[in-house]
Structure 1
Amino acid sequence: MAATRLSLNDVSLQGAEELAAATDGASVVTIGNVSVEVSSHARDVLRELLEQLAAGHRVDVVPVAELLSTKEAADLLHVSRPTLVKMLEEGALAYEQPGVHRRVPRAEIDRFLAGRHQRRSARPAALDAQQRANVITMREAGMTRAKVAKTFGVHPSTIRRVESAFNETA
């Protein structure tokens, strides 16, 4: 089964809201004449899916395969397939190559996404005055923008903005 995208074309806002409210405390889900007992975790996942739809968001339902193609992995990471291949070759993600095609373990995607979230939340919002002065000193000493950015844990565009602000005041 391929990934499935749900949107407001599939269920109305009101319908999603009503279904989400109906899942509170429910231990049985009934569709048509079939009733199935569900765990609290399954109920919570179903409610979250419905709440996201009720909020007007699209929801992707993706089966968890042990090994993913590069296209499937790229889609989950919201990057192009060539970008993913570059990430694999640089060692950002582990992969297997049983034949001609690369396969990425789903656990590796989950690990990378968790790490990305952790890296982004640890990133400072801005550089203080001393750090900005150090950026200029390091760049004048010939250090690359990427290396300076890595030193401070920021994106290279942040270093570019610091340089632009410095050049405007100089």
Structure 2
Amino acid sequence: MERQWMTTGQAAQALGTSRQHVVNMCERGDLACVRRGSHRRIPRSEVEARIAPPLTREARKSLWLHRAVLGALASRPEAVLATARANLSAWKLVHRGDGMSAQYLAEWEGILDSGVDAVAQTLTSTAGRSVELRQNSPFAGVLAEEERREVLRAFRSHEELKDGSS
């Protein structure tokens, strides 16, 4: 019976995110859970549904770009988070409040509000939800154009080497 349920720590490890982010997801209703005393238990099926298959080339490219964003976040967190928040605010003005875009924007807001560690986890996790969120990333403008091009060149070189060694 216990194998059907996971603790928030186990769910966080499986999803490649922080425990606090899992708690926040439960509190927002983004992740189903039950309370047993003061502890949350999450159905294993909920967590497994969020774990993605191997990444596509586009998802790997996005991951590389977001790793570069992570470098910027580590060196200037306030500026990077401010850029992301400004992008979210601007996008809220042009997207319908009831569509999928609104859901992604709200989820990103929650992640940004959870702090640098939660943002870092989402930027680099290969879990399914993080991959989806990166496709709707509020970090546009964090990397200078030349830096973005360098990252993409490095990604292409890496992929060519990897493809040649397969």
TM bin (shorter chain): 0.3 to 0.5
Higher percent of residues as helix? 2
When normalised by structure 1's length, the TM-score is 0.37
Higher percent of residues as strand? 1
Flag the structure with more relative contact order, 1 or 2, with Cα contacts below 8 A and sequence separation at least 6: 2
